[in-house]
Structure 1
Amino acid sequence: EGDEIKTSAGSWRIRTDTGHSDAQISLMDKERGLFLSVDFLLPRISPNISADIRDPDFDLLSAYFIYLKEMTKLPADMQIFPGHDWPFRQGGVRAQQLIDHHHHRLDLLHAAAQIAPLTVWSAMDTLFGRHFGDHEMYFASGEARAHLNHLVAVGRLHKQCDDRGIDIYAAQDVVTA
């Protein structure tokens, strides 16, 4: 973090960020206005922010929010080269759009949990409104869990395990059986 790679064309500052993964390296050359954002800041889609099987209760979304908040300060003319899709500018605007997107998802889950406690499965229905094949199920369940973890971490939901070993997420003022 913070080290530099010097080339004949310029100097790249190494960033290590958390959110889409535990630690992903990106490179920024502020002088030339270039940012290799890899999979963290994308022009069209939201990177998958998934709970990790190694630590399924970790609040990865908080780490991603820290990253995005910093990215809102990017110069508007900085050229961003993402790991998917096409190069783009206005990275700060895009970062704010992603913050808003995730807050909207968090609000959807919190509202649903005020009606009835949630499981990861029901949270997937709330967020995505459809069922997935095996490959997509892995990503969708991880993303639903990451959002539930964040709501627990900020005190909007509480989690308990039922007698079948299933995690149940309820709004703080809703009692689960």
Structure 2
Amino acid sequence: MDTKTSPDEQIGKSPKVKLDYPYEESEAPEQGKVKEVADGVFWVRMSLPFSLQWINLWLLRDHDGWVVVDTGMGMEETREHWRTIFDTVLEGQPVTRVIVTHMHPDHVGLAGWISRKFDAPLHMSQLEYLMCRTLVGDTGRKAPEAGIRFFKASGWDDQAIQTYKDRFGRFGLAVSRLPDSYERLSDGDVLSIDGSEWQILVGSGHSPEHACLFNAEKNLFISGDQLLPRISSNVSVHPTEPNADPLTDWIESCARLRDALPKDVLVLPAHNLPFRGAKARFQALIDGHEKSLRRLLRRLDEPKTVPECFGAIFVREISPDILSLATGETLAHLNCLIGRGQVVRTLGDDGVWRYERMD
């Protein structure tokens, strides 16, 4: 992963839907400070070194301690802001648990650091924990041949391949060392925090086993990147699993979560502002991807490479800094159409994949 590019950066047009925002941008907490959004639930905001400038993190009061939900990037600036919060908000009380929604560095980056500082257990889903350990283990390695073949087959030129080689293995630079053990989160689990129940609801597609937290009593949904109000989370195919179909996983999990949540739940997302309108937003995301799939299918009346398909998915020019994201998301749409039996892929003599609509 290129640590200069956010995994959640919007490279396409997010579908519009009317949502209710109880807070203005001016009401968001400054770094090193918190804002209470419900009894015992506090909003924390940290900066990111991306075009996506902020991540929302959450502090939950837990009797004589605190639970941290997501942690921000593994940067010294973020550590300093956390130290301020530990001194001024926690006032000597410990962090009792660290919960991470998923393994992207802006969420898991300081989980190990906070966990060790307070000897607090780390809670993650199994696939997110293991995938994070795997990616961190790639730090400093040379780009694998499988990855080079994958991007060549995706139509990348020599300059793009060289950039991939130069940037490979940087994931761990933004992630503090994870604990060697963790507490597993699974779909349907219930965590008791400060005498209130938080249910784990798992989504997939943006990441393998993304854990969200729903509190029916407080009518709150900590959504991580599974549901964002203004941007659409990236859904990508990666070199490690070139024939994966994450878009089908994403669409199905969005539909399942849409049906599981109350209409008026307050969503506490990882990016942008808290909002109400989860059901409509989930449906808009589903509809937006289905529209992109139909548009892409219409363009495949003759064989096309992955870059030749970008225009069906994205409304902006794909510059080199977002080529990886655009390739991964375009492949997610193409693999979805293959899975639906509507598109066939062939490998040309030049080693490049081409996609064509089936009769």
What TM-score results when the alignment is normalised by the length of structure 2? 0.46
**Matching residue of 2:358:** 172
Residue in structure 1 matched with residue 193 of structure 2 by the alignment: 7
Q: Which residue in the other structure is 2:243 paired with?
A: 57
Matches within 5 A, 1:127-138: 127-138=313-324
Q: Which residue of 2 aligns with 1:25?
A: 211
Question: Residues 203 and 257 of structure 2 are in contact (CA less than 8 Å); yes or no, is this contact kept in structure 1?
Answer: no
Any stretches of 5+ residues in structure 1 without a counterpart?
none
Matched, 1:81 2:268: yes
Count residues in correspondence.
172
Instruction: Tell me the alpha carbon deviations over residues 63-94 of structure 1, each in whole angstroms, 9 at most, x when there is no partner.
Output: 01111111322211101111110111110100
Residues 17-63 of structure 1, C-alpha deviation per residue, up to 9 Å, x if partnerless?
21101121111112221111100111011111111221021000010
Q: Secondary structure of 1:146's partner?
A: helix
CA deviation after TM superposition for structure 1 residue 165, in Å: 1.3
CA distance in 1, matches of 2:197, 2:349: 56
One-letter code of the match for 2:308? S
* Correspondence for 1:47: 233
**Inter-partner Cα distance in structure 1 for 2:357 and 2:263:** 39
Contact 2:222 2:268 in 1 (8 A): yes
How far apart, CA to CA, are the structure 2 residues paired with 1:13 and 1:52? 30
Q: SS of the counterpart of 2:201?
A: strand
The answer to whether the 8 A contact 1:71-1:91 is kept is no
Return the offset for 1:135. Answer: 2.5
Aligned to 2:228, what secondary structure does the other structure show? coil
Residue 160 of structure 1: CA displacement?
1.3
SS at match of 1:76: coil
For 2:315 and 2:288, how far apart are their aligned partners in 1?
16
Could you tell me which residue of structure 1 aligns to residue 30 of structure 2?
A: none
CA deviation after TM superposition for structure 1 residue 117, in Å: 1.7
The SS at the match of 1:72 is: helix
**Paired residue secondary structure (1:35):** strand
Higher Rg of the two aligned structures: 2
- Aligned pairs for 1:113-124 (under 5 A) are 113-114=300-301, 116-124=302-310
Q: Which residue identity is paired with 2:350?
A: R
**C-alpha separation between the residues in 2 aligned to 1:167 and 1:61?**
19
CA contact (8 A) 2:237 2:328 kept: yes
Note if 1:110 corresponds to 2:313.
no
The answer to whether 1:97 aligns with 2:272 is: no
Q: Which runs of 5+ in 2 are unaligned?
A: 1-185
Question: What's the C-alpha RMSD, in Å, of the aligned pairs?
Answer: 1.3
AA at the equivalent of 1:144: T
For 2:50, the equivalent position in structure 1 comes to none
C-alpha distance in 2, partners of 1:126/1:136?
16
Q: Provide the C-alpha distance between the structure 1 equivalents of 2:208 and 2:288, rounded to a whole number of angstroms.
A: 21
Structure 2 distance, partners of 1:134, 1:5, is: 43
Partner Cα distance (1:40, 1:7) in 2: 22
For residues 129 and 92 of structure 1, the distance between their equivalents in structure 2, rounded to whole angstroms, comes to: 25
Out of 79-88 and 13-22, give the one that drifted further. 13-22
1:16 alignment partner in structure 2: 202
Q: Which moved more, 1:143-152 or 1:65-74?
A: 65-74
| TM-score, scaled to structure 1 | 0.92
Match of 1:36 in 2: 222
